[in-house]
Amino acid sequence: MAQVYVGIGSNIERERHVLAALDELADAFGELAISTVFESEAVGFDGSPFYNLVAGFETALSVGELSRTLKAIEDRNGRCRQGPKFSGRTLDIDILTYDALSGPVDGVELPRAEILKNAFVLQPLAEIAPDTLHPEKGLSYAELWQAYDKTKQSLWPVDFVWRGEVISRAG
């Protein structure tokens, strides 16, 4: 079984789509490690704020099979793949890491570059996997978050309940 971390984001009917993503991931993979849900401004385009979080789970699927499974979840939640790369979306689920794999695997670049670039990926990843080492940098996600320039992007925790459990509270 491989340990996987995925980034989840939505800025269209955010709560509905994040809930649907968590439901489908839990149904497919079992127990999830779930970070705080953060709200952040859109990056790379003018758009509504996003909800972002990271979920971790184990899978026996290959990287390619996992990628296809995640795309199918996005599609079932109305993901539009036409139009500009940076635009609003109902649901975005990205493989951040798959064990300690590095480089292109089944058409997926691992680890995902956004881990080091975006606070809305690194902060939740550092929260649920603080001691896990970045496959290329060799530093833990907690160390990477501590060194991250937190003035680059603003994000804030939001209240969020999934399956009757509070998984996130506003700061």
What one-letter code names the amino acid at 81? R
Q: What is the pLDDT of residues 152-168, one digit of tens each?
A: 888 999 999 999 999 99
Q: Which residue carries 């902060």 as its tokens?
A: 123
CATH number for 61: 3.30.70.560
pLDDT value of position 82? 65
Q: How many domains does the chain fold into?
A: 1
Q: Give the C-alpha separation, 75 to 90, whole Å.
A: 9
- pTM for this structure? 0.93
- Strand partners for 161: 166
Domain region containing 107:
2-168
Name the 3-class secondary structure at 157: strand
Per DSSP, helices labelled H in the chain are 14-29, 63-76, 114-117, 119-128, 141-147
Please report, rounded to a whole number, the percentage of residues in the chain having pLDDT higher than 70. 91
